[in-house]
Structure 1
Amino acid sequence: MDLSGFQTMQGRDVGADGLAGDRSARQFAAHFHPPSRIDARLVEAWSDLAGQASEPNIFYEHWFLVPALAQLRHHDDLQLFLLWAGEPHRSPLLGLMPVGPEQQFGRWPVPHVQNWMHHNCFLGTPLVRKGFEPMFWEKLLAALDERGWPGFLHINGMTINGPLDQALRMVCDGQKRRCDLVHSEARALLEAHCTADEYYRTNIRKKKRKELLRIKRRLGELGELQFSCLQDRTNLDSWIDEFLALERKGWKGKSGSALDCADATREFFRATVRGAAQSGQLERRDMCLDGQPVAMLVNFRSGRGGFEFKTAFDEDYASYSPGVQLQIENLDCLDKDAVDWVDSCAAEGHPMIDHLWSGRRHIGRFSIEPQRLADRAVFRGVRLGERGMGKLRKRKIFDPAEV
């Protein structure tokens, strides 16, 4: 399916507060935009949208997504679904999500449409301006139905029970569509309910704290131990080089999964970190011994939230827990008024971060039923197969919305 053939859809809808003009008479416009046509005008509107997003997601901000589209493999028909408050490029951008057709759904050769995620993208929640969540889904579903989408819509990596999830379920319920949460996982989340010191003492046992302090002192006996946190572009390129080298030195380099193991991921990382710095959303931390990095961490900020993107440590010093030591220093973000939470972006059950951070963020995959009867039959057949496999594997899906 060539999504680029979609025609711009316009309709009269009532918008949310916050945009000037007669909302009842506003012409909203939804269309699919090819990545090759991203220009400065769109980037400006995109940046404004990210600053007003109902749910922050740095992975769909322009400085992250544009380098990913340029460097990483994706379907030729991948498009940006855009929702505008009026005439495109001359009105506020209300919503954005990269979507495209897929021919394989897990193990099954089932065509469907899905939001785009890659191996270095850890959240798939669309960027939608506050108050326009239901309209975003209404316009997306209408656009796909009008064209005749293949199979069904699958949303991967969306925050469960957030404003976008709630709006999607409400819209689907009103349209008598099934909207099934087909997979869920809980990953570590840091929430700012107390000071860094209080959080550390509450969540880490006294015996463990004493052990970490002991090995930190032992590490300090080997040379001068320094921690730094930078939010500007000071020596940024050399810092990036050091991070890439440190990550490649470890197990990721040996397995071929380090960013520096391929030109595409290396250049993607460089462009992303530089873009975050230029947007004022980068925070980089490191722990150095006699000036040489032992552990390094890349954080991104968006609104009052944060995302831990990448971490690397020198495995020669593994007995000193350098990654944990740097994470303890990272807790000082709790003492900053600008941050309410930080997403670890780590896999569920991560052996290190899960023991340090007590909060959990639930992320899920959603499958949405299409309008055409033939495609509905495909959707329901897939869902029947998924439920059968889930029972065989005794897999449980936790849905906070039902609690």
Structure 2
Amino acid sequence: MMWFIVTNLALWVMLVGQGSCQPNFPRTTCGGDLEGDTGEFASPGFPQNYRPNLNCVWNIKVPEGRVIFLSFRFFALEMNARCMYDYVSVFNGRAQDAQRLGKFCGTFRPGALVSTSNEIVVKMVTDDSTDNRGFLASFSSGEPHKQIATESFCGGRLEKEFGSFKSLNWPESNYPPGVTCSWHIIGAKDKVIELRFDKFDLEEDLYCRYDYMSIFDGKSDSAQRISKLCGSEVPRTIRSTGNQLFVQFVSDLTVTADGFLAKYSIQDQGSSGSGSTIKSVTYKTTMAPAVTTTSPMIDPCTKACKRTGTMQTNFCTKEFVIVGKVLVIQQRDGAKLLRIAVIRSFKTGRLETSQRRRGDVAKIMLPCPRCPKLKKGKVYIFMGAVDPSGVGVILPDSFVVNFKSKLLNILNNIAQRKSC
């Protein structure tokens, strides 16, 4: 009992009024509808441990024209790197396809969140095994364009003619892990929005899978994505095609960085701004400089684990085509890095190989570690892309098949016909 009191002293102080000797925890139920300017809610049974097999949904609504500021005052759920077992998810609205503002677990208290409308949904799910103390949360309503005095929140709706927004803790320290922030910038119907960055420094990754900023040319994350950004290179100025821009910032539960400072201005549609409406995305890598492509990036792990196209179409469109044996499979920053003993090369493009006593060895990366499923010691036909550092890239839908002698004959015929 003494441990309980000491470890939660800060929480009790917030909830106990002066002159009161008992904590006033909110009544806890498994979900429900919460309406009003302010409110509190907690996991069932809080401050005692929550039960297994919960599926609780809280629908929170504040007055029209206002947004919701949500903060977790206490948080302790079962820990898992991907929050697969016990977790709390927060959604930006009540629609079935509402944007998820975050999915949280463990004992790290999530950063405060701001909605872009007057409704949010909070969902708590638990499995049938490990339990923990749960959570205590509070919400309040506010004007879309107002900044919270403590600046402990991020996100919201921005409607002034010009303004700025930044990552949490900027510029004093790194942004925190495990946050999701969304800014909805809105101008008059005949206006466009120009967005530029004075500072930008997020965790680097070739495919921006961990900490990243996504920018959408519209009112939500279902609009056309203009860019997905990470790394330390300051992005170029971005200009919308219409009167709305949606900016989303996500950080995972591990490495953090300085963060960002962004400024926007709402301009006449015909004005000659310094930005660009070209749909582009910057891929960052710690192995080589950034590469810019005119195709919007898709998270590789959203692709189905099934190869697409035929052997001939892939032979013609992919940068490299090799037959090789898997020598090594290494876990590398959430991906897999393979070393492949090259048995036969049909196309190599920019794929770099190192000379070994028994032949060439190539490096191939699998950004999505779950697929394709490859085994050490097996021989495969690989067809894929090449990153700027000369490492092959195999996605879940890339053409990778077990080697068979009859397939070698087909590859020889395609190469000899030169039909690409």
| TM-score, structure 2 as length reference | 0.28
Which has the bigger relative contact order, CA under 8 A and spacing at least 6?
1
| TM-score, structure 1 as length reference | 0.29
Structure (1 or 2) with the larger CA radius of gyration: 2
Between Structure 1 and Structure 2, which shows a larger proportion of strand residues? 2
